[in-house]
Amino acid sequence: MKTKTIVVALAACVIGIGLASYLGKVSFENPKTCSSCHFIEPYYKKWQTSTHKMVPCMKCHVYSPGRALAGQFLFLAGAYNPRPLSNVPDQNCLASDCHDKRLIESKATIAKRGISFDHKPHFTEMKRGMRLHCRSCHSDIVQGEHLKVSMNVCYLCHFKGVAHDQAQNGCPSCHAAPTREITYQGKPFSHPEALKAGHKCAECHVEITRGDGVVPPEKCYFCHVDRVEKYKDVKLVHDKHVGDKQIDCLYCHTRIEHGKIKMAAELPK
């Protein structure tokens, strides 16, 4: 009888370990399983068609079986948030065989927009009083992609608090003037010749942005119940939300549009 009890106990242990291993390594780490509990269907669909489609969620996101189990109890207690925020540590992005050379081969060009970008200063230097993470820029959902950069993120940082005919670090900090001759109001115009003559971008591009990128106080209530006492402490808010929690900028800020919002009636000759 004692031997039988021992055998049953050992069998139960083996089955338990096997089940835990399956749930932890197979089921839990399967991206489809994530969408069965969390409201992430839009993100899941973007992931399926992105360049990261062969990378499982747990390779990047910080989430443990223990946290998942705790979530079940919160759900039963009626206190579960179906849209939890999950960090992606920078070291996961910069891991070997992923983007480990990003800060060495740091310069990139967005050909369609003629924009030059350097990862290194954005990642290693303070920007507008904040220390940025990979997710600070690679957070927005872009049609058909996952973790690509939406230009809306760039616009918020480069244009918030700046006059509508200016950029935070000047237009050349992102892109050079067009080199080919264009036609405006039926007349030919050369950007290189205009700049050589001493004309400034704002003389023609009277307004290049629309919107102010502010954070309405009521946005705080999406996460905090009746808690806006620290709303004006910008440094604290950014340290907690951008630095610690890696919350997407556009989760709080309104968007800023950028382009040929308003042009001068006549261009300089």
Whole-number mean pLDDT of the chain? Answer: 82
Instruction: Return the pLDDT at 159.
Output: 93
User: Exposed, middle or buried: residue 41 (CB in 10 Å: 0-12, 13-18, 19+)?
Assistant: exposed
Distance CA 33, CA 93 (A): 22
Q: What is the pLDDT of residues 67-122, one digit of tens each?
A: 777 877 877 787 776 666 778 889 999 998 889 998 888 888 876 777 888 999 99
Distance CA 81, CA 61 (A): 17
Residue holding tokens 């992430």?
40
Distance CA 91, CA 96 (A): 9
Distance CA 206, CA 209 (A): 9
**Of 62-66, 169-173, 206-210, which gets the smallest average pLDDT?**
62-66
- Closest alpha carbon to 116 in 90, 154, 153: 154
| Per-domain boundaries in the chain | 1-83, 87-269
Instruction: Return the pLDDT at 206.
Output: 92
State mean pLDDT over 121-141: 86
Instruction: Return the pLDDT at 255.
Output: 93
Q: How crowded is residue 161: how many other Cβ atoms within 10 Å of its Cβ? A: 9
Rounded to the nearest angstrom, the gap between the alpha carbon of residue 247 and the centroid of all alpha carbons in its chain is 8
Distance CA 263, CA 203 (A): 9
Distance CA 110, CA 115 (A): 5
Q: With contact defined as beta carbons under 8 Å apart, do 113 and 175 qualify? A: yes
- As a three-state string, the secondary structure of the chain is CHHHHHHHHHHHHHHHHHHHHHHHHHHCCCHHHHHHHCCCHHHHHHHHCCCCCCCCHHHHCCCCHHHHHHHHHHHHCCCCCCCCCCCCCHHHHCCCCCCCCCCCCCEEEECCCCEEEEHHHHHHCCECCECCCHHHHCCCCCCCCCCCCCHHHHHHHHHCCCCCCCCCCCHHHCCCCCCCCEEECCEEECHHHHHHCCCCHHHHCCEEEECCCCCCHHHHHHCCCCCCCCCCCHHHHHHHHHHHCCCCHHHCCCCCEEEEEECCCCCCC
Distance CA 2, CA 9 (A): 11
Residue type, 259: G
Q: What is the pLDDT of residues 22-38, one digit of tens each?
A: 455 555 678 887 877 77
